[in-house]
Every structure is written in structure tokens, then in C-alpha cells.
């Protein structure tokens, strides 16, 4: 099985230059990515960021404006899709309605002239993997959304592709079914060990499935790393706020110098947070930037806490966790707690922040400001 290398890849649609947003001139701009053999890569980003375009160029369904795509060691820029040894599972189920599930799964092998007995062997090998062995005699119209998704994926992998390309394959499923299929996909990929590129706008899906996530915005790769890297060590404000649910709190702050430490201060708020010492070389009195902290790193202090007294603005009980919102100027700072107290708006809590978990971002560019 092969890996995938994308080098300096660009895509410009004929009409995309007309857009006012210059950054969006290219649907894909100077993309570099490497998926090692057997790795599961997620392309993640908001609608229109260029995920599908990248996948379609990799599949050979879209012309490349500039750059190179290698599957294994083979430059595939000019190879026909059928010669790229890829399996495709796109969000539409694209099944042939007059054919049974068996014939749908077998279709591509039949078209390639594979021997009937071999086709039968492979259909019966793949079907249990995708838990569609009891569906083989059914017609597509009789299938549920989840069953169709499973058949769709079985069709993609029966050719034993070197590279499996999936574009939002779970998009038609609702919450529970989606989660169940996510687990099935994970199990399947572990079993077939196929290099996989998976397009999604759902960060949970990317975090739970992928070995590495490529986070894209406006056609530009923002960060490519393991789920832990993009979560714990985001390179900029976009990645920090895109990964994590609820998202990271990001607040504008002015640094105020005290005798032996600095404080984060916020407009129209009494909240003061001690700046961790590690930032002492990058901040100064009056320095403005953004500070980010995840809701689970904002804590409610006990009775003797030196935390800042703050008024509860919102309280949501989600069963296993509670979410509390606090107004900091115009921004609602969220915190997540397993404290079972039922707070109500107006209650006062002592707010503490895990200083070691804070991130600083440049006010204008959104780039991460790193401690030196």
C-alpha cells in the first residue's frame, strides 16, 4: 500500500479570480501534505475552504492548476482516475438503484473483468467487515441511510485501493448513527490498513478518527499535526478556536505590569488573571494581545480561593457536565465543571484560570505568540 505526497498544490477555478477576497483567489493555495503509508489523514475546515477540491484533484476528477501529487512514488498528475488505485466514497451514496447490494458492491470488479468466483470471494470478504452481509440481496431503495453509507464504503474498498478517499461519508447520518459509523470506520481502517484521506468539517470526527489532521482555511493549510498537537499546541487563533467543543475562550487583553508579575486585564471587566512567568519575556506593561483558554481550564475556586469573584451569567446542566458563562466585557467566557452545584444567573463564583494552559495570539494576525 502507498502513502500520499502533495507538493505545492494549487487550484484556481476560472471564476475564482473574480471574487473580491484576494486570499480566496485560489481554492487551494500552496498545499503541502504527506500521508505515510497506512496513515489516516483528515482534511478539516469550514465550508468552502478547499477540502473537496483537494480530494478531487487527488482522485484525478479535477484538473491541477500547479503542483504535484504522488501516490507512493508515482507522480499521478496525468494519470486517469482508474489508473490511480484509489477507492472513493463520497457523501452521495451513488448506488445503482436497479442492482442489488451484492451487484452494487461487485460492480467495479465486474467492469474490470475480474473472474466471477473471485468477485464472489471478495464481496463475501468485504461484506462482514462493513456489516452488510445480511443486506446483499436487498435493493438500495430498501436500505436505511446508515446501511447505504456502509455499502458505499464497501464499494470503495473492494478494489483494495492503495489510497482510500472519503468525502463526508457520514454526512447524511444523524448523531447516534454517525457515532456508530465512526466507530465502524475506525475498526475497518485498522483492519485493512489502507492509507486514507477523509474530508470532514466536523472536528470531533477528525479528532476521533485521524492519525493526523490538516486544518485548512480559505485554501491555505493552517496546521498539520496529530489530534493532540492541534488541540494542545495550536499555531494560530483559527486552529485554536476550530478545534474543541465548546471552543477555546479567546479574549482581547491588555497586560498590566505589577511589582513582580504581570496581569491579564480586560475592557469593562474587573477580571484579573496572573500572567504565567513563562511569558515574561514576550509581554510588557500596556502590551495588547489575545489570550486563549479552554473551558475546562477555567475553574471554580473553593471558599478560600484567591480567584476573581465573578457573576454567573448562564448555567446549563448537560448531565455529566455543567457549563457556566461569565461576562468578561462583551465576551461570554465559558467554563465546564463537574461541580454538581446548581448555579443560577447572578450567583458569585471565584474564577480561577490554569495559567499554564493559556495561549497568547497576535491581535492582528492571530498567530500564536510563543514564550521565549
| HEC sequence for 104-151 | HHHHHHHHCCCCHHHHHHHHHHHHHHCCCHHHCCCCHHHCCHHHHHHH
12 is a contact residue toward ligand ATP (CB under 6 A): no
Give the CA radius of gyration of the chain: 25
Q: Give the residue with the Cβ less far from ligand ATP, 31 or 35.
A: 31
Q: Which DSSP string corresponds to 136-201?
A: TTS-GGG--HHHHHHHHHHHHHTT--SEEEEESTTTTS-HHHHHHHHHHHHHHHHHH--EEEEEES
CB-based contact 11:64 (threshold 8 Å): yes
Q: Give the residue with the Cβ less far from ligand ATP, 50 or 295.
A: 50
Distance CA 102, CA 270 (A): 66
Distance CA 24, CA 217 (A): 9
169 is a contact residue toward ligand ATP (CB under 6 A): no
- Unique residue bearing C-alpha cell 471552543: 247
CB of 8 to ligand ATP, least distance (A): 18
Q: Of 184-203, which residues contact ligand ATP (CB under 6 A)?
A: 201
If phi over 0 gives left and psi between -120 and 50 gives alpha, with beta otherwise, what is residue 13?
A: beta
CB of 25 to ligand ATP, least distance (A): 10
234 is a contact residue toward ligand ATP (CB under 6 A): no
CB of 52 to ligand ATP, least distance (A): 3
Segment near ligand ATP (CB under 6 A); pick from 9-17, 175-183, 235-243, 275-283: 9-17
- Per-residue x/- track, 26-65, ligand ATP (CB under 6 A): -x-----------------x-xxxxxxx------------
Q: Give the residue with the Cβ less far from ligand ATP, 56 or 155.
A: 56
Q: Give the residue with the Cβ less far from ligand ATP, 35 or 255.
A: 35
Q: Of 305-364, which residues contact ligand ATP (CB under 6 A)?
A: none
CB of 66 to ligand ATP, least distance (A): 15
CB of 11 to ligand ATP, least distance (A): 7
DSSP 48: T
Q: Give the residue with the Cβ less far from ligand ATP, 30 or 252.
A: 30
Distance CA 307, CA 270 (A): 12
CB of 197 to ligand ATP, least distance (A): 12
DSSP 231: H
CB-based contact 90:51 (threshold 8 Å): no
Q: Give the residue with the Cβ less far from ligand ATP, 8 or 341.
A: 8
95 is a contact residue toward ligand ATP (CB under 6 A): no
CA-angle at 11, arms to 6 and 15, nearest 5°: 170
Q: Give the residue with the Cβ less far from ligand ATP, 15 or 259.
A: 15
Q: Give the residue with the Cβ less far from ligand ATP, 63 or 371.
A: 63
> What residues line the site for ligand ATP (CB under 6 A)?
13, 15-16, 27, 45, 47-53, 201
Amino acid at each position: 500500500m502507498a502513502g500520499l505526497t502533495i507538493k505545492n498544490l494549487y487550484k484556481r477555478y476560472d471564476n475564482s479570480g473574480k471574487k473580491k477576497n484576494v486570499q480566496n483567489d485560489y481554492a487551494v493555495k500552496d498545499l503541502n501534505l504527506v500521508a505515510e503509508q497506512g496513515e489516516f489523514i483528515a482534511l478539516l475546515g469550514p465550508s468552502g475552504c478547499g477540502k473537496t477540491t483537494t480530494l478531487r484533484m487527488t482522485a484525478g476528477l479535477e484538473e491541477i492548476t500547479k503542483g504535484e501529487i504522488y501516490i507512493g512514488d508515482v507522480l499521478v498528475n496525468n494519470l486517469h482516475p482508474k489508473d490511480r488505485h484509489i477507492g472513493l466514497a463520497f457523501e452521495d451514496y451513488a448506488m445503482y438503484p436497479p442492482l442489488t447490494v451484492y451487484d452494487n458492491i461487485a460492480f467495479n470488479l465486474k467492469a474490470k473483468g475480474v473472474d466471477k468466483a473471485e468477485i464472489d470471494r471478495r464481496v463475501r470478504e468485504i461484506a462482514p467487515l462493513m456489516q452488510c452481509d445480511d443486506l446483499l440481496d436487498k435493493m438500495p431503495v430498501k436500505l436505511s441511510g446508515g446501511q447505504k453509507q456502509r455499502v458505499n464504503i464497501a464499494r470503495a474498498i473492494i478494489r483494495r485501493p492503495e489510497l482510500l478517499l472519503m468525502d463526508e461519508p457520514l454526512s447524511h447520518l444523524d448523531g447516534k448513527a454517525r457515532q456508530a459509523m465512526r466507530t465502524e470506520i475506525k475498526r475497518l481502517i485498522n483492519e485493512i490498513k489502507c492509507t486514507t484521506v477523509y474530508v470532514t468539517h466536523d472536528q470531533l470526527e477528525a479528532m476521533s478518527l485521524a492519525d493526523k489532521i490538516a486544518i485548512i482555511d480559505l485554501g491555505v493549510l493552517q496546521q498539520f499535526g496529530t489530534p493532540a498537537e492541534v488541540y494542545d499546541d495550536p499555531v494560530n487563533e483559527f486552529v485554536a478556536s476550530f478545534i474543541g467543543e465548546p471552543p477555546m475562550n479567546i479574549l482581547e487583553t491588555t497586560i498590566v505590569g505589577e511589582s513582580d508579575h504581570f496581569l491579564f486585564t480586560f475592557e469593562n471587566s474587573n477580571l484579573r488573571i496572573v500572567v504565567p512567568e513563562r511569558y515574561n519575556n514576550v509581554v510588557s506593561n500596556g502590551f495588547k494581545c489575545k489570550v486563549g483558554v479552554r473551558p475546562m481550564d477555567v475553574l471554580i475556586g473553593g471558599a478560600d480561593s484567591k480567584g476573581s469573584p465573578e457573576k454567573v451569567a448562564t448555567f446549563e446542566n448537560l448531565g455529566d457536565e455543567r457549563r457556566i458563562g461569565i461576562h468578561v466585557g462583551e465576551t461570554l467566557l465559558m467554563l465546564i465543571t463537574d461541580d454538581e452545584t446548581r448555579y443560577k444567573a447572578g450567583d458569585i463564583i471565584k474564577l480561577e484560570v490554569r495559567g499554564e494552559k493559556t495561549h497568547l495570539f497576535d491581535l492582528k494576525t492571530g498567530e500564536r505568540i510563543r514564550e521565549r
